[in-house]
Amino acid sequence: MEKNQIIKLEITDLSYEAMGVAHYEGMTVFVNNALPGETVEAKILKVKKHFAFAKIEQIIKESPDRVNIKLNQWVQTGLASLAHVKYDKQLEFKRNQVVNLLQKAHLDDVKVGETLPSPEETGYRNKAQVPVREVKGQLEIGFFRKHSHDLVPLTNFFTTDPEIDRVLVAVRDILRQYHVPAYDEIHNQGEVRYLDIRRSKATGEIMVILVCLHKDFPQLPKVAETIKQIAGVTSLVLNYNPKKTNVILGKVDYLIFGKPQITDQIGDVKFKISPESFFQINSLQTPRLYDLAIKKADLQPDDIVIDAYSGIGTIGLSVAKHVKSVRGIESVSDAVKDANNNAKLNSISNAKYVTGKAEEVMPRWAAKGIKADVIFVDPPRKGLTPEFIEAAVKTSPKKIVYISCNPATMIRDLQEFMNEGYTFNQIDPVDMFPQTPHVEAVTVLERARK
Ligand SMILES: C[S@@+](CC[C@H](N)C(=O)[O-])C[C@H]1O[C@@H](n2cnc3c(N)ncnc32)[C@H](O)[C@@H]1O
């Protein structure tokens, strides 16, 4: 097999990154955009020792699960690399990811629920982080083509709230109007690196963050004055990121106008969100995810609850009024400030959040003899650490509710808890990210022995 060779392939599977999988002369071939059941003519793009990457030249036999989207830019860019698959099949794909991981871990007897569908299949994102680059002499917003930093100009981001798309395009036009340069990442020059926009569905508030190379630039006063005129925009922040880095946000924010946070709501709890704080991006699906997690916790009025990896306290504050007390841990200090302020905002006096790494704070709490009845964990993709797990077990919780955006690390961690005398019998996938291969999942561990 060699680069540029054109071969006929039968697609038998879908990889966890949503690429079609085929086998050819002992090699595994990953075919962008191809679906199981399809026969395609594909061009080889890259050959490794045991596998290769290819792209479709022609579909010879099409899958009935294929959606023929008009523009396949979203698939090309990786922004929505499941957009060519019917929604019910996307849900099945996500459930299968969990089933396959459990099988690999020899945990075939664990039940996997049907994936909870998202109320919105497109336009669900309450936040967009969009690169700004110069393309053919013009400032453009868009998305990087998969595995590259080539910007594909876009104005419809498909999974983002259309109100955010409207503001993205308006801000792009203002930057063009005042000749603000786009960031040039090769020379670490220019000005605007990213547009980061958040919108609350509950209040309609919109925060615009310009991620810039400098703290200030000559056109900023005029740019700010014009952005203020965009309907719905309630604040403008300049995030200062001077480094040559792929990390999107710098460490310092300057409020240019408006409120320093936007206000959102989950159920009947209000949340103020600072620019650096994490907030679940699918507004209508988040309460359904939390309801599922909270139901699994089976909370009692006397329960002491730990909310680990708490963000702005969304889970802990949603349950605080039904339990004795809540303690939260989160590593981003702005998010912790938000969490404690959000407690006050909602007249909650039995919840307290601290800044720190969960894997460091939890062992300190355990050493002090702090006990918990229920622990909620909602870590980033890399999951928990052995130090965290060991300390969590020492607080002797009856239940540990695990919410995860990466079932692979979740299942690894669940096995650690099993070694410590906890059991679980079901995992429920929840679709927080339609049109993408990302899988969210919830489970509850119960203490089987002392
Ligand atoms: C998936 S988010 C969940 C946040 C929150 N539970 C929610 O539903 O909005 C994970 C959170 O963990 C925080 N985080 C990342 N690493 C951490 C660590 N080592 N210790 C504590 N928090 C951490 C992130 O800043 C983020 O707020």
pLDDT of the residue at 176: 98
Task: Say how many Å lie between the CA of residue 311 and the centre of ligand 1.
Answer: 5
CA atoms in the 13 A half-sphere facing the CB of 227:
30
Report the candidate in 289, 277, 292 with the shortest Cα–Cα distance to residue 353: 277
pLDDT at 181 over 90: yes
Q: Tell me the pLDDT tens digit for each residue of 421-441.
A: 999 999 999 999 999 999 999
- Are 314 and 266 in contact, with CB atoms under 8 Å apart? yes
Pocket of ligand 1, candidates 331, 362, 439: which has the most ligand atoms within 8 Å of its Cβ, to mutate?
A: 331
pLDDT at 62 over 60: yes
In three-state secondary structure terms, 433 is coil
Mean pLDDT of all residues belonging to the chain: 95
Which band of pLDDT confidence, cut at 50, 70 and 90, is reported for residue 450? low
Could you list the residues known to form a binding site for S-adenosyl-L-methionine, using ranges. 280, 309, 330, 378
Could you list the residues known to form a binding site, using ranges. 280, 309, 330, 378
Pocket of ligand 1, candidates 288, 330, 382: which has the most ligand atoms within 8 Å of its Cβ, to mutate?
A: 330
Report the alpha-carbon distance of residue 32 to residue 293 in Å, rounded.
Answer: 35
**Helices within 152-219 (DSSP H only):** 162-177
Which band of pLDDT confidence, cut at 50, 70 and 90, is reported for residue 370? very high
Task: Say how many Å lie between the CA of residue 248 and the centre of ligand 1.
Answer: 17
- The pTM (predicted TM-score) of the whole model is 0.94
How many other CB atoms are found less than 10 A from the CB of residue 15?
12
Task: Say how many Å lie between the CA of residue 219 and the centre of ligand 1.
Answer: 36
| Ligand 1 atom nearest 405 alpha carbon | 1
pLDDT at 404 over 70: yes
Report the alpha-carbon distance of residue 20 to residue 35 in Å, rounded.
Answer: 5
| Ligand 1 atom nearest 376 alpha carbon | 6
Both structure tokens of 77: 């860019």
Task: Say how many Å lie between the CA of residue 312 and the centre of ligand 1.
Answer: 9
Report the alpha-carbon distance of residue 293 to residue 157 in Å, rounded.
Answer: 30
Report the alpha-carbon distance of residue 216 to residue 214 in Å, rounded.
Answer: 5
- Ligand 1, atom 19: nearest CA belongs to which residue? 357
Both structure tokens of 432: 């927080």
Percent of the chain with pLDDT over 70: 99
Determine if residue 158 is left, alpha or beta; phi over 0 gives left, psi from -120 to 50 gives alpha, anything else beta.
Answer: left
Q: Tell me the pLDDT tens digit for each residue of 201-255.
A: 999 999 999 999 999 999 999 999 999 999 999 999 999 999 999 999 999 999 9
pLDDT of the residue at 70: 67
Beta bridge partners of 263: 272
Q: Which residues line ligand 1 (CB under 6 A)?
A: 278-280, 309-311, 314-315, 329-332, 335, 357-359, 378-380, 405
Burial of 28 (0-12, 13-18, 19+ CB in 10 A): middle
Both structure tokens of 174: 């203002």
Owner of token pair 């392939």: 9
Q: Tell me the pLDDT tens digit for each residue of 121-159.
A: 999 999 999 999 999 999 999 999 877 889 999 999 999
Task: Say how many Å lie between the CA of residue 310 and the centre of ligand 1.
Answer: 5
Report the alpha-carbon distance of residue 377 to residue 296 in Å, rounded.
Answer: 13
Q: Tell me the pLDDT tens digit for each residue of 255-290.
A: 999 999 999 999 999 999 999 999 999 999 999 999
- Crossing angle of helices 386-394 and 407-419, in 10° steps, is 50
Pocket of ligand 1, candidates 309, 375, 410: which has the most ligand atoms within 8 Å of its Cβ, to mutate?
A: 309
Burial pattern 360-392, b for ≥16 Cβ within 10 A else e, equals ebbbebbeeeeebbbbbbbbeeebbbeebbebb
Both structure tokens of 6: 């054109």
Report the alpha-carbon distance of residue 135 to residue 132 in Å, rounded.
Answer: 9
Annotation says 212 is catalytic = no
Helix (H) or strand (E) holding 442: strand 440-447
Q: What is the set of domains in the chain, with CATH numbers?
A: 6-66 (2.40.50.140), 127-265 (2.40.50.1070), 282-447 (3.40.50.150)
177 CB contacts (<8 Å, ≥6 apart)?
A: 226
Residue tagged active-site, from 52, 82, 168, 405: 405
Report the alpha-carbon distance of residue 42 to residue 395 in Å, rounded.
Answer: 55
Report the alpha-carbon distance of residue 311 to residue 331 in Å, rounded.
Answer: 8
